[in-house]
Amino acid sequence: MLSSKKALVETLAKIAQVNILVVGDLILDRYVWGGVDRISPEAPVPVVEVRRTEDRLGGAANTARNLRRIGAQVNLCGFIGDDDEGSAILGLLDRDGIIHEGVIADRTRPTTLKTRIIAQSQQIVRIDRESRVVQAVAMREGFAAVVESQIESVQGIILSDYGKGTISEPLIRILDSATTNGKIGLRARPLIVDPHPANYGIYRTMSVVKPNRKEAEQATGIKIHNRDSAVEAARALLKKWSASLALITMGEDGLMLLAATDPDPIFLDTMAQEVFDVSGAGDTVTAVFAAALATGADKVVAGDLANLAAGIVVSEVGTVAVDPVRLRHEIDRLAK
């Protein structure tokens, strides 16, 4: 049963009053759109005739964009390279009104770039350019200090981890200290972590752990093949990282919520009608859930709102942010 229309609409409206800090790996998603009508004579591969190229915010920057689209104020912290792609990210952040004083240019590494070649609305190939070399200690500690300086000015914090090096031990120590001192908690500046296997060994206390099915399996060693195994994995996650709440995204099976203090889980069926592309859907869930939780909304209301938002973005091709007009339309159409 979906939450009431009143609760969903009120929560969506309150999101404009919150400021969320997003910390994580910044990615430039580049889309090369074209058509295919022949096979190359050089090799058995399609020839794509390019019609347009488009840059979009990816990774943690896509999480930030989703937040901004639904009205939240956003402070973004992460790394770019000293290159054209880094400049492109800054330009897109300016366009969307995302505060990026915490975005630092690292001259030793390129901006992470994912180029997708798309023809007839189908992805032909993806080309990645990135560096995962560990940054200097001074760079990591300096970045952690930048994040620390912003904690008290926000109502919620998201760690969007894509395993590119932004999330580090010094950063986790800062957040753990803030949690211990009462600055971070489920009701006071909730910390939502979208985890990556590269850093499973360094995470500590968090308010919400939000993996997808595969990530939850990797973190716990529990194969999720039905609801019972999903609950078993969620309980293991709560214990592993001293989390207050687990939110597991399970694709066509929807979302599962389990609080450390509740005996029973909550399953939310998927709201997707048509699925064209799941790229970035996890970012949308993270953003909307975190923003709703930061307003003081109940976890089920936050989960329903995030689930509705994810159902919208998977109906489009490529990494997109949820359209608030469509989100409100879905609330009017489905909620009572």
Q: How far apart are CA 127 and CA 30, in angstroms?
A: 10
Strands across the sheet containing 122-129: 46-59, 26-39, 112-119, 122-129
Q: How far apart are CA 150 and CA 135, in angstroms?
A: 22
Q: Which of 283, 298, 323, 332 is catalytic?
A: 283
Cβ distance 92 to 35 under 8 Å? no
Exposure of 76 in the CB half-sphere (CA atoms within 13 A): 34
Backbone torsion region of residue 88, taken as left when φ is above 0, otherwise alpha when ψ lies between -120 and 50, otherwise beta: alpha
Task: Tell me the residue ranges of DSSP E strands in the chain.
Answer: 19-24, 26-39, 46-59, 73-81, 99-106, 112-119, 122-129, 156-160, 191-194, 208-209, 245-249, 255-259, 266-268
Q: Tokens for 200? A: 């499973």
Any catalytic annotation for residue 283? yes
Q: How far apart are CA 237 and CA 242, in angstroms?
A: 8
Catalytic residues: 283
